[in-house]
């Protein structure tokens, strides 16, 4: 691992200024993705800017018809929070399924969203619930945020401050986890939002995506029979040592059906 300078800014503004000053710097939140990447020499930042202690990035609060969760809120905090369980229960359930206790106690919502691992769970929730990512300079709808494998709409020196979730009670997430890491081989969230039914799939492709055919099939209501005859195109799906594209396509169908049956 290359030597780096460790920095602990006192505010979001200071963190962003440090990011801008050093073009090879990286933010550090829970470190559950960045540190493994650095250990493998896949990233070698000159400066590591720790943001996990910033109060501005903490807190979970209801704001009108939205739930606002700070970027540095850990997965364990989301899973346990009464504000989440009572307003967007599917989100608390999803957070409970992430990794193991160590990962949940260190890993953060902002880190997961910014990293956009193809097998991460939160991207499915953001996309299915129609969430909005709040950064230090703008708001980005989830539909425009996840651009590709480990790619997002964030600028290099942009910091995720919070995520705003609409209060959606009719939502359910099901995943087929990798037996060791618990990352999603495939994960599906189905939700009924003010804008209609949304189905988001993670793990199956290079980046999370909405399943338009399933959304259309479920527009009339949550009944598994509405999914009869629906198949998932395996073109563009991931194929690796964990699962073939064909198997992942099959899992998308099975998990969508399970999520719908939990909502029926
Ligand atoms: C063994 C293991 C199992 C795991 N299992 C799962 C799983 O089942 N499901 C799952 O979804 N994830 C899983 N993870 C990943 C975990 O959820 C990570 O916590 C998460 O992906 C990254 O969050 P972090 O806070 O640790 O971010 P970090 O590792 O600190 O940062 C990750 C990246 O995001 C950037 N970043 C961090 N915070 C911000 C911010 N606020 N604004 C802009 N950029 C930021 C960093 O610069 C870095 O590039 C697992 C990880 C491990 C090690």
Residue 123 CA to ligand 1 centre (angstroms)? 12
User: Mapping DSSP to helix (H, G, I), strand (E, B) and coil, where does residue 115 land?
Assistant: helix
Ligand 1 contact, 173 CB (< 6 A): no
Average pLDDT, integer, range 52-59 = 97
12 in a structural domain: yes
For the chain, how many structural domains are there in total? 2
- Sign of the CA dihedral with 154 first, then 160, 164, and 165 last: positive
108 in a structural domain: no
234 in a structural domain: yes
Q: Confidence class of residue 198 from pLDDT cuts 50, 70 and 90?
A: very high
Pocket-testing residue among 13, 19, 29, ligand 1, by greatest number of atoms within 8 A of Cβ: 29
Residue 31 CA to ligand 1 centre (angstroms)? 6
123 in a structural domain: no
**pLDDT at residue number 240:** 96
Ligand 1 contact, 129 CB (< 6 A): no
Structure tokens at 251: 């899992």
- pLDDT over 90 for what percent of the chain? 97
187 in a structural domain: yes
Average pLDDT, integer, range 43-59 = 97
214 in a structural domain: yes
Ligand 1 contact, 47 CB (< 6 A): no
Domain boundary among 53, 74, 90: 53
Which CATH number characterizes residue 216's domain?
Answer: 3.30.390.50
Q: pTM for this one?
A: 0.97
Domain boundary among 18, 34, 53: 53
**pLDDT at residue number 2:** 84
pLDDT tens digits for range 99-154: 999 999 999 999 999 999 999 999 999 999 999 999 999 999 999 999 999 999 99
43 in a structural domain: yes
Which CATH number characterizes residue 18's domain?
Answer: 3.30.43.10
**pLDDT at residue number 177:** 98
User: Residue 2 sits in which domain range?
Assistant: 1-53
pLDDT tens digits for range 142-197: 999 999 999 999 999 999 999 999 998 799 999 999 999 999 999 999 999 999 99
Atom of ligand 1 nearest to the CA of 72: 41
225 in a structural domain: yes
**Whole-number average pLDDT of the chain:** 97
Alpha helices (H) in 57-176, listed in sequence order = 75-80, 82-87, 89-96, 101-106, 109-115, 122-129
Ligand 1 contact, 48 CB (< 6 A): no
């Amino acid at each position: 691992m290359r030597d780096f300078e460790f920095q602990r800014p006192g505010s979001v503004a200071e963190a962003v200024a440090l990011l801008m000053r050093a073009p090879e710097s990286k933010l550090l939140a829970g470190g559950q993705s960045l540190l493994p990447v650095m250990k493998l020499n896949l990233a070698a930042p000159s400066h590591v800017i720790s943001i996990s202690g910033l109060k501005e990035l903490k807190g979970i609060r209801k704001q009108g018809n939205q739930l606002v969760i700070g970027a540095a809120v850990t997965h364990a905090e989301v899973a346990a929070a009464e504000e989440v369980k009572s307003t967007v229960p599917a989100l608390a359930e999803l957070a409970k399924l992430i990794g193991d206790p160590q990962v949940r106690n260190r890993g953060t919502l902002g880190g997961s969203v910014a990293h956009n691992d193809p097998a991460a769970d939160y991207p499915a929730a953001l996309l299915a619930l129609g969430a909005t990512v709040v950064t230090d300079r703008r708001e980005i709808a989830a539909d425009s945020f996840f651009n590709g494998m480990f790619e997002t709409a964030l600028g290099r020196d942009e910091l995720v401050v919070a995520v705003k979730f609409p209060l959606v009670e009719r939502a359910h997430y099901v995943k087929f986890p990798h037996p060791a890491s618990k990352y999603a081989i495939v994960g599906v969230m189905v939700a009924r939002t003010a804008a209609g039914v949304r189905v988001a799939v993670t793990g199956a492709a290079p980046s999370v995506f909405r399943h338009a055919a399933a959304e259309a099939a479920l527009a009339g209501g949550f009944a598994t029979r509405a999914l009869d005859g629906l198949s998932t195109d395996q073109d563009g799906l991931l194929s690796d040592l964990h699962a073939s594209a064909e198997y992942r396509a099959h899992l998308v169908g099975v998990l969508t059906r399970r999520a719908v049956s939990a909502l029926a």
